[in-house]
């Protein structure tokens, strides 16, 4: 799929907000239907998912404490007709060790977020037999 760049947003999320919900609401409020997301910062008590292919669902890993948001990358597309952010994170602990996975939720201590809107054909997620919601097109 080919897209052109639309608006670019750079912002800081207020402390105490739940990051995934905030990004989804930001996309809805600004009518960002397609885009890429990246961020850095620090999250409290993040929950990350590991997709268990055999089970067809996510195992949720609950981390307690404050973790560096070393890297966040993801995208925005449509799901059930609304903007939906799919986000993966790398989280660092006090030893510098990393945990990583699919972001389920995380309370913001600090989050600096960049969203690049993409314009063109709209991709929509549809439930698949493997338990995931994926785009119909693969390229």
Residues that bind Zn ion (CB under 5 A): 102
Distances (CA, A) of 84 to 16, 23, 93: 21, 9, 28
Q: In degrees rounded to 5, what are phi and psi of residue 110?
A: -140, 140
In the complex, what is the shortest distance from the CB of residue 57 to Zn ion, in angstroms, rounded to a whole number? Answer: 12
Do residues 130 and 55 make contact, with C-beta atoms less than 8 angstroms apart?
Answer: no
| CA Rg value for the chain | 15
User: Which CB atom, from 44 or from 102, has the smaller least distance to Zn ion?
Assistant: 102
User: Which CB atom, from 28 or from 125, has the smaller least distance to Zn ion?
Assistant: 125
Return the residue nearest Zn ion (CB atom).
102
Do residues 4 and 120 make contact, with C-beta atoms less than 8 angstroms apart?
Answer: yes
User: Which CB atom, from 6 or from 22, has the smaller least distance to Zn ion?
Assistant: 22
In the complex, what is the shortest distance from the CB of residue 103 to Zn ion, in angstroms, rounded to a whole number? Answer: 8
In the complex, what is the shortest distance from the CB of residue 89 to Zn ion, in angstroms, rounded to a whole number? Answer: 10
């Amino acid at each position: 799929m080919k897209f052109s760049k639309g608006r670019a947003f750079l912002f800081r999320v207020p402390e105490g907000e739940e990051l995934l919900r905030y990004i989804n609401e930001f996309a809805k409020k600004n009518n960002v239907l397609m885009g890429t997301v990246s961020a850095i910062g620090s999250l409290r008590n993040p929950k990350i998912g590991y997709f268990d292919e055999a089970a067809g669902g996510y195992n949720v890993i609950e981390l307690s404490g404050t973790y560096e948001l070393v890297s966040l990358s993801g995208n925005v597309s449509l799901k059930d007709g609304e903007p939906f952010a799919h986000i993966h994170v790398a989280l660092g602990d006090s030893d510098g060790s990393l945990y990583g996975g699919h972001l389920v939720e995380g309370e913001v201590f600090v989050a600096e977020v960049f969203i690049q809107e993409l314009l063109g054909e709209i991709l929509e997620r549809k439930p698949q037999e493997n338990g995931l919601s994926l785009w119909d097109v693969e390229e």
